[in-house]
Structure 1
């Protein structure tokens, strides 16, 4: 049995994963999906990792899946508990000493995002169109109601690791992601991890839009001979 450890992104919570969690549990897997202390100004990256490690407890067979800002927390978890595979899902990839606040300029995100918005003819402040465009309307509305305040604290702290953890790593890119455009993400993954990302259809909130397909992809990663990346 695999234990999937699901780490949500900024201003979010464990609810984001509820459809994927149901899919994975129905297939016989265990799932850990903690709420990070994102609305607590006293909590930084270490406290985010603490929340995950505490939720994991003594479970084994861990596959850590991190979405968006969760990419800054997941490698810290991998340094503290035995992880078999790290999957970055539409996630930020930190460099040693970099803050999440500096990541945007360091990667060239703003230009990539602006060019994508202009190409699509989309207003940059339309969060539904940006994050939830492929999520069923009722579910998208519920996601909006369940949004949480996001403290700036984890965006100001330098990422503390000196190198990527020695854990097999995959990156799953969503081709319809409007927040992290696909062409931008392909470049960042290549430059920062030295791997080619895997790809699937879907936007930034793929766990809400395509939970069954996402579960299929995550299960496929646990088959022998599929893990790769900088930790291999």
Structure 2
């Protein structure tokens, strides 16, 4: 049994994973879903990291999954605790010393002009789930956006980038280029949009658990 540590993205919450959690549990695994202190104007990377470590407690055999902006936090956990696998899901892949606020220009991100927020983040998500989402979004006022990413190098942990083919926020071609530039890897791909844990939870659970097979 592995412990999946699911780290939400910017402005998100543990709710973002609520359809994936039972899928992973039904496959025999433990799941930890921390709420990062993004609404705390004094919180930064250190507080994000400690929140996740506190949620993990003494659990072991960790698979850390960082979604979107959560990819800035996920490697910090792999630097602090033994981690079996690091999965970056439709991610913002950081590099040492980079300020998250600079990531957009540094990666050459051109935005998604003409698309609504729903089209960018929730394409493919059932309408009833989209209707619930606004109640779970949070204002991100934490300080880490202006702080250099604290690692000097990528942690020595097996790392997989998993992108969604229909992602309209971070298009697949953009994600392939960033993964190659920053990690020297070609990402794995799955069906769905940016919020793939809400649109394809069963398929995502199958993919994540398949990574554990010999």
Q: Using structure 2 for the length normalisation, give the TM-score.
A: 0.98
Match of 2:164 in 1: 174
- 1 CA distance for matches of 2:16 and 2:33? 9
Match of 1:5 in 2: 5
- 2 CA distance for matches of 1:168 and 1:28? 22
Q: Deviations over 1:140-191 (max 9, x none)?
A: 0101121111115121110011100000000001011111111000000001
Match of 1:89 in 2: 89
Match of 2:16 in 1: 16
The alpha-carbon deviation at position 134 of structure 1 amounts to: 0.8
Matching of residue 101 in structure 1 with residue 101 in structure 2: yes
- 1 CA distance for matches of 2:142 and 2:61? 33
Instruction: Pick one of 176, 180, 190 that aligns with 1:190.
Output: 180
Taking only aligned residues, the RMSD between alpha carbons, in angstroms, comes to: 0.9
Structure 1 unmatched ranges of 5 or more: 118-122, 225-232
Q: Using structure 1 for the length normalisation, give the TM-score.
A: 0.90
- 2 CA distance for matches of 1:146 and 1:173? 23
- 2 CA distance for matches of 1:207 and 1:178? 15
Aligned residues: 214
- 1 CA distance for matches of 2:120 and 2:68? 14
- 1 CA distance for matches of 2:122 and 2:163? 16
Match of 1:230 in 2: none
Instruction: Pick one of 121, 134, 150 that aligns with 1:131.
Output: 121
Q: Which runs of 4+ in 1 moved over 2 A?
A: none
State how 1:151-166 maps to structure 2 within 5 Å. Answer: 151-166=141-156
- 1 CA distance for matches of 2:171 and 2:57? 35
Match of 2:200 in 1: 210
Q: Deviations over 1:87-133 (max 9, x none)?
A: 000011111110100000000012xx34xx4xxxxx24x11111112
3-state SS in 2 of match to 1:142: helix
- 2 CA distance for matches of 1:208 and 1:127? 15
